[in-house]
Amino acid sequence: MKLAYYPGCSLDGSGVEYGLSTRRTAAILGIELEEIEDWNCCGATSGHNTDKILSLALPARNLAIAEKTGLDVLAPCAACYNRFRTTEHAVRHDQKLRERIEDIIEMNYTASQETLSVPDLLANKVGIEKIKDKVARPLVGMKAACYYGCLLVRPFEHTGFDDTEDPQSMDQVVQALGAKTVDWAFKTECCGAALATSRPDVGTRMIYEVLRNAREAGAECIVTACPLCMMNLDMRQKAAEKAYKEVFNIPVYYITELLAIACGDSPSTVGTNRHFVEAVKYIENLPDEPEPEKIPVKPAVSKEDPAKAAATKVEPKDSADNSESAEKVPASAVSGEDEGDAIQKKVDAFIKAFSKNPDKMAAKLIEDPERAGVLAEIITGDDKKIAKLAELIATDKDKATKAAEAFVTGEMKKRNK
């Protein structure tokens, strides 16, 4: 396959990773890219905000140059893609407008070719099966929210390669790379685009809502195919965190970065080390897939159960039976498991630790030795309290400490009576 290539301004600048990874993606999939000669800026949103004819003529010059080659055009930037598709649509459906545009650019242009976006190219032109064949290092364990934003899917009459409300093309590609994708409500919600610059009071909130929704849906990273979405979600993530006093620290990837890395490239080859939110560590240390036939174990209340739960642990060293190693197990289990399973494992390990070594565990929760002693006395033999503390300590140590203090205070009151 051979395509005319329109990198657009941001792929040489703020979206440099998108440029690098698109070229790598093309090379991996055997697509030849021929850069449009002496291309110019598409005018972006500023163009259509200012002058309708200008906003059609600027893309038309590029498309007319590409038309001479007879090739379809690849425009990875969602904004350029949208402007190109809008221009093609206008030229195809309005003869008078077409003549006016040809007049302005002093070139013939009949919109005989088609502009493609990256998701359209990958999912529909290359095809999911071919991508699967190329994967060398599947992204197993990754949980991604595929973020399409506005310009790739709207308006349908201009873009038309995917659903406007619940698009799937990027999800299919990311799944073909071995990752899991989450269903979420903000797939096609707007990131605020240039409002982050011109009206940060409005734009920052829009960025925050997208990040929050992705995390609430269980995503551990976001995948995009738009340099502006990347800029807002990655570069401005810190500002959104600051404004809304919430930490996300959620890496954002271009879909082409994921493809290149899954097909064997190192993250730095495609620029993943240049993100603002650290993105290399997550992709290099993806959590292992949960064990296929694991039956979820409820927090145990009897003393036999913890032992059974411990028997299902992953690593052999986990069978060591002092509380110290029992505490280390969960730490390694977190990265090695699906989150729910990992927490369950932690809980089981802590139940065991509390039952075996109540003194030691009590000392970990309460500093005051006298109160810690009281706690150890209370929990010895009280499986309910142990289960409660184990559950809390597995997710939030502070909460566990608070609960432990409450147990002790209650006990002291009883004793004083």
Partner 1 sequence: MGTAMKLSPATDNQKALISRLEKEAGTSINLCYQCGKCTAGCPAAFAMDYPPRQVIRLLQLGLVDEALGSESVWICASCETCSSRCPRGVDIASLMDAIRREALLQNRVTDKKVAAFNKAFLSGVKRFGRTYEAGLLLQYNTATGQYLKDAELGLPMFLRGKVGILPEKIKGRDAIKKIFARAQDKGGE
The residue written with tokens 């997710």 in the block is 395
Contacts of 165 (CB under 8 A, 6+ apart): 188
CA separation, residue 263 to residues 78, 134, 150, 409 (Å): 24, 6, 28, 58
Q: How far is the CB of 241 from partner 1 (least distance, A)?
A: 14
Evaluated on CA atoms 208, 210, 214, 216, the torsion sign reads: positive
Looking only at Cα atoms, what is the longest distance across the chain? 97
96 binds partner 1 (CB under 8 A): no
Q: Which stretch binds partner 1 (CB under 8 A): 138-146, 185-193, 309-317, 364-372?
A: 185-193
Please count the residues of this chain forming the interface with partner 1, following the rule CB under 8 A.
Answer: 55
For 319-379, the DSSP string reads G--SHHHHHHHHHHHHHHS-HHHHHHHHHHHHHHHHHH-HHHHHHHH-SSHHHHHHHHHHH
DSSP 8-state code for residue 381: T
For 99-126, the DSSP string reads HHHHHHHTS-----S-EE-HHHIIIIII
Residues 55-84 that bind partner 1 (CB under 8 A): 57-58, 61
361 binds partner 1 (CB under 8 A): no
199 binds partner 1 (CB under 8 A): yes
6 binds partner 1 (CB under 8 A): no
The residue written with tokens 């990198």 in the block is 7
Our CB check for partner 1 shows the closer of 151 and 378 to be 151
CA separation, residue 80 to residues 11, 60, 195 (Å): 11, 12, 18
Q: Which stretch binds partner 1 (CB under 8 A): 182-190, 212-220, 315-323, 397-405?
A: 182-190
The single residue among 49, 110, 249, 266 that binds partner 1, judged by CB under 8 A, is: 49
Measured CA to CA, the distance from residue 87 to residue 75 in angstroms comes to 13
Measured CA to CA, the distance from residue 32 to residue 35 in angstroms comes to 10
Site string for partner 1, 16-45 (x = CB under 8 A): x---------------------xxxx-xxx
Our CB check for partner 1 shows the closer of 79 and 386 to be 79
**Phi-psi sector, 128: left (phi>0), alpha (psi -120 to 50), beta:** alpha
Q: How far is the CB of 236 from partner 1 (least distance, A)?
A: 8
The single residue among 32, 35, 51, 246 that binds partner 1, judged by CB under 8 A, is: 51
150 binds partner 1 (CB under 8 A): yes
Our CB check for partner 1 shows the closer of 14 and 325 to be 14
Are 145 and 214 within 8 A, CB to CB? yes
Our CB check for partner 1 shows the closer of 277 and 387 to be 277
Are 300 and 309 within 8 A, CB to CB? yes
Our CB check for partner 1 shows the closer of 273 and 409 to be 273
Residues 247-276 that bind partner 1 (CB under 8 A): 274, 276
| Preceding peptide of 227 cis, ω within 30° | no
Measured CA to CA, the distance from residue 415 to residue 18 in angstroms comes to 67
Measured CA to CA, the distance from residue 258 to residue 403 in angstroms comes to 43
Q: Which stretch binds partner 1 (CB under 8 A): 147-155, 316-324, 375-383, 405-413?
A: 147-155
Q: How far is the CB of 350 from partner 1 (least distance, A)?
A: 41
The single residue among 48, 132, 137, 328 that binds partner 1, judged by CB under 8 A, is: 48
Q: Which stretch binds partner 1 (CB under 8 A): 129-137, 152-160, 361-369, 393-401?
A: 152-160
Q: How far is the CB of 195 from partner 1 (least distance, A)?
A: 6
105 binds partner 1 (CB under 8 A): yes
155 binds partner 1 (CB under 8 A): yes
Site string for partner 1, 218-247 (x = CB under 8 A): -----------------x------------
For 184-233, the DSSP string reads -TTTT----TTHHHH-HHHHHHHHHHHHHHHHHTT-SEEEES-HHHHIII
Q: How far is the CB of 262 from partner 1 (least distance, A)?
A: 23
Counting beta carbons within 10 angstroms of the beta carbon of residue 157, is it exposed (0 to 12), middle (13 to 18) or buried (19 or more)? exposed
Q: Which residues bind partner 1 (CB under 8 A)?
A: 9-10, 12-16, 38-41, 43-54, 57-58, 61, 100, 103-106, 149-150, 154-156, 164, 188-190, 192-195, 197-199, 201-202, 205-206, 209, 235, 274, 276
